[in-house]
Amino acid sequence: MDQLLNEGKELNVQMMIEEKRKNRSVKNIFEKAIPYFLFLCASVSILTTLGILFTLLRESVGFFSSVSIVDFYTGASWGPWTGNFGVAPLIGGTLLITLVATVVAVPIGLMSAIFLSEYANDRVRRVIKPILEVLAGIPTVVYGFFALTFVTPVLQSFIPGLGIFNALSAGIVVGVMIIPMIASLSEDALNAVPNSLREGAYGLGSTKLEVVFKVLLPAGFSGIVASIVLAISRAIGETMIVTIAAGATPNLTMNPTESVQTMTAFIVQAATGDTSFGSDIYYSLYAVGMTLFVITLVMNLLAQYISRKFREEY
């Protein structure tokens, strides 16, 4: 009887061992497959970027085979339908609106981050943070009509002779759009500063304002600057706001009260117009898009460089 019980126990143990081996083999296969799946997911963005870059380069080469690249970047007259391919007015309009947006967004976004990080209590923070997130989720076409139908009439009451389409209202609303990006990323940079630095500054008799401007901002400088650069690159690539509110006048000017056209606005105009395939106007879309791609790439590389260069290790 005891022998039968021992044999039964041995059989149960063997069955458990075999079952564990089977489960372990399935688990090992699953564990080996996961890295390949994650690598595939990570490769999608890289392959997409390479595909976009390849398309822009291929079509841009076709454009520059018939239009001089020197004339394209140095010409001050943009009129593809009249044979003028000087992209400087489009670049100037893009930079003008970006400048206005930066002037609006940086102070408000940075002060909002300081308030949320150092001054607001939990109750106030729970109210303001969702509002900022909602502001970031508003469609840009809504921002565009807001600039055209509300901001421009308000500005016209202060600036006589201001046209319906102008760079000022478009730049202000683009600045409002990128405020959440600066505020959120800058707040994260400030929250990453160790509390020991705050406590040490308070222990030396510093006020909260002195702690913010003499301790926290220098300590979180790399993250704050990176957030500003990323927001500026977002403003450079904005499309619908500038298309609706800034107009479609390729004007090389630094006067924000005038109508301008940005690179993205031209792409929208040409892509939705009567542009024949294979024409110089068609290929100019890709040349302008390539220019915009390079500017945005440089801005992102600059943000990464600043983040690494001035990062504080604690």
Of the two residues 156 and 1, the one the predictor is more confident about is 156
Q: pLDDT tens-digit profile of 84-117?
A: 788 888 888 889 999 999 999 999 999 988 888 8
Fold observed for domain 70-309: MetI-like fold (1.10.3720)
Per-residue buried b or exposed e for 2-17, using 16+ beta carbons within 10 Å of the residue's own CB: eeeeeeeeeeeeeeee
The gap from C-alpha 221 to its chain's centroid, in whole angstroms, comes to: 19
What pLDDT is attached to residue 99? 92
Distance between CA 237 and CA 265 in Å, rounded? Answer: 10
pLDDT exceeds 60 at position 5: no
Domain-wise residue ranges, the chain: 1-65, 70-309
Q: What is the pTM of this model?
A: 0.81
What pLDDT does 15 receive? 61
Tokens describing residue 91: 């670049």
Residue pLDDT, tens place only, 175-218 = 999 998 898 888 888 888 888 878 787 787 777 888 888 888 88
